[in-house]
Amino acid sequence: MLLRSLGAGVSGLKNFQSDLDVIGNNIANVSTSGYKKARINFEDLFSQQLQGASANKNAIDVGLGSQTGSIDNIVTGGTINQTGNPYDLAINGEGYFTVTDGTTNYYTRAGDFKLNTNGNGLVNSQGLSLVGVNGNFNGVSSFTVAPNGTITGVPTGGGAPVNLGTVRVDTFSNPAGLEKVGNSLYRQTAASGPAAQAPGVGTSTTLQQGALEGSNVDLTDEMTNLIEAQRAYQANARTILTADQILQELVGLKR
């Protein structure tokens, strides 16, 4: 009995340490553009059966603690904040910007882009190219991004507007299954399913120029979760301490 309670308490400490790590990371990214908060889910461990079930009598099982079942990305939208920078883009609705290093595609909701060195495309803070943009920005005095992602430039010397490409927006059957790889980037996994161009861009999903999507972290919720996780950690520590005190009493019986 004592070893079971000790093991259950230890599993609780490990789990709520992970919970505190997740909450702390959410709080640290409360002002990170495009950040999607994470949520940890726990599962009970298998139980030790002391007596099997029979007619008119339930089984007697003792649980052996808990474990982390999953850590999910919560992909609800964040607040759209106006910046006035024409290179900043925000997505209203589902989907992710697709950026590439030339070999691998990554996905992000952080739309803080800038011109690349050659002036013929947009890149993010890590220098990854925004897929779908391939026009000569050096030859235009200004440009606009339509809600459907089409980029139109006004030539410096006048003349007809020129097309500078169309921003690609991808969606996934299970976006919560995307893998975080740092720098506000995601990578597709078997859980997320393959990337596919988002349907309805310009209608149900729109792009907004001169704006950035804020984090979807609610600081009030996270502080509440932090208190709950702290108290749960303390309670599991108390379980271990109580079991240890009882064990000391048993050891003392030999004296």
Q: Are 106 and 193 contained in the same domain? A: yes
Q: Are 7 and 39 contained in the same domain? A: yes
CA atoms 79, 82, 85, 89: torsion sign: positive
Residues 91-106 pLDDT 10s:
999 999 999 999 999 9
Q: Are 47 and 87 contained in the same domain? A: no
Write the CA distances from 240 to 41, 220, 253, integer angstroms: 23, 31, 20
Q: Are 58 and 157 contained in the same domain? A: no
Strand partners, 91: 207
Q: How confident is the model at residue 44, as a pLDDT?
A: 83
Residues 119-130 pLDDT 10s:
999 999 999 999
- Number of separate domains in the chain: 2
Strand partners, 150: 166
Q: Are 126 and 232 contained in the same domain? A: no
The pLDDT confidence band at residue 66, using thresholds 50, 70 and 90, is confident
Q: Is the pLDDT of residue 145 over 70?
A: yes
Predicted TM-score (pTM) of this structure:
0.86
Q: Are 86 and 163 contained in the same domain? A: yes
Tokens standing for residue 123: 């890149």
Distance between CA atoms of residues 73 and 134, nearest Å: 32
Range of the domain at 247: 2-75+217-252
Most confident residue range from 42-51, 55-64, 193-202:
193-202
Nearest to 15 by CA among 221, 236, 238: 236
